[in-house]
Amino acid sequence: MGTFADDTAVEPLGQARYGAEVTERWTVLGGVPNGGYLMAIAARAMAGEASHPDPVSVTGHFLRPTAVGPATVEVEVLKRGRRLSQVAARLVQEGDTRLQLLGAFADLEVLDGPTKLDRQPPALPPRGETVDANASADEHGTFAPPILRQLDVHMPAATLGWSLGQPDGTGEMRGWCRLADDEELDVFGLLMMADAFPPAVFNSGAPVGWTPTIEMTTQIRKRPAPGWLAGRFATGSITGGYLEEDGELWDEAGDVVCLSRQLALAARA
């Protein structure tokens, strides 16, 4: 197994309960685990009870801060259909629900409907013309959260300028990404990767700071092909302190593998 697979593994405890260990490797700042990482753990437990293997939509409501350490996921199957299972879950630490989820699961290897793609992949230069975010942090002495050390993220230089105090004003983060150490990303990894880029709002010119997620929904359309993913994350509407971040990830086969949207609180000036 790889680090991500190990760090998101769940152990069946019986009665639709699963044990997990939240590790420090996927934290973002101050020891706070990345929200998408927690959704990946919970979704593995949900899949353990569903009649279908792949999450096609997972919504997580973040209720209380989660900590590094043991967690339990309690799963309730709401519906078992021919094509879909729908499942509720809660991730619990020390008796408190930290993250509440709803998800739909299907078999993404058995698709039998129309395909028509008007959406375009992110505009990205070849990887050789982009900047390795970890190397840039090392070179400039800027902050690299632990989760970034678990990833290979390559961004256009202008997209990464925010980390040197020069946001590009687009409200977008774009880049190539994959797990470090050549670990291949599975469908559950998409839930993490959809939340792993720096907040797109950091490139908007609005204040940079703590941007807590209230709710995040990720739709998964395909098990990703091996290799790199191309990601685009954008915030278009910051209103009264609330913002959305819309994301897309595309695989090397040229297919959109997931669409994400979260509601978060904007940092204060």
* Interacting residues toward a copy of itself by CB under 8 A: 56-57, 59, 61, 63-64, 78-79, 83-84, 86, 88, 97, 100, 102, 104, 108, 111-119, 171, 204-207, 214-215, 217, 219, 221-222, 235-242, 244, 255-256, 259, 261, 263, 265-269
Q: Give least dist CB 60 to a copy of itself, A.
A: 9
Closer by beta carbon to a copy of itself, 2 or else 121? 121
Phi, psi of 172 (to 5 degrees): -125, 145
Closer by beta carbon to a copy of itself, 25 or else 61? 61
Which residues, 6 or more positions from 80, have their beta carbon under 8 angstroms from its beta carbon?
50, 51
The CA angle 41-174-158, to the nearest 5 degrees, is 140
Whole-angstrom distance, CA of residue 114 vs CA of residue 241: 39
Q: Is 21 exposed, middle or buried (0-12, 13-18, 19+ CB in 10 A)?
A: middle
Q: Where are the alpha helices (DSSP H) in 9-58?
A: 35-49
Closer by beta carbon to a copy of itself, 148 or else 171? 171
- The answer to whether the beta carbons of residues 235 and 244 sit under 8 Å apart is yes
- The answer to whether the beta carbons of residues 201 and 211 sit under 8 Å apart is yes
Closer by beta carbon to a copy of itself, 1 or else 110? 110
Q: Give least dist CB 76 to a copy of itself, A.
A: 9
Q: Give least dist CB 3 to a copy of itself, A.
A: 29
Q: Give least dist CB 113 to a copy of itself, A.
A: 2
Q: Give least dist CB 241 to a copy of itself, A.
A: 2
Closer by beta carbon to a copy of itself, 95 or else 268? 268
Whole-angstrom distance, CA of residue 50 vs CA of residue 196: 26
Whole-angstrom distance, CA of residue 69 vs CA of residue 92: 11
Q: Give least dist CB 171 to a copy of itself, A.
A: 5
Closer by beta carbon to a copy of itself, 226 or else 254? 254
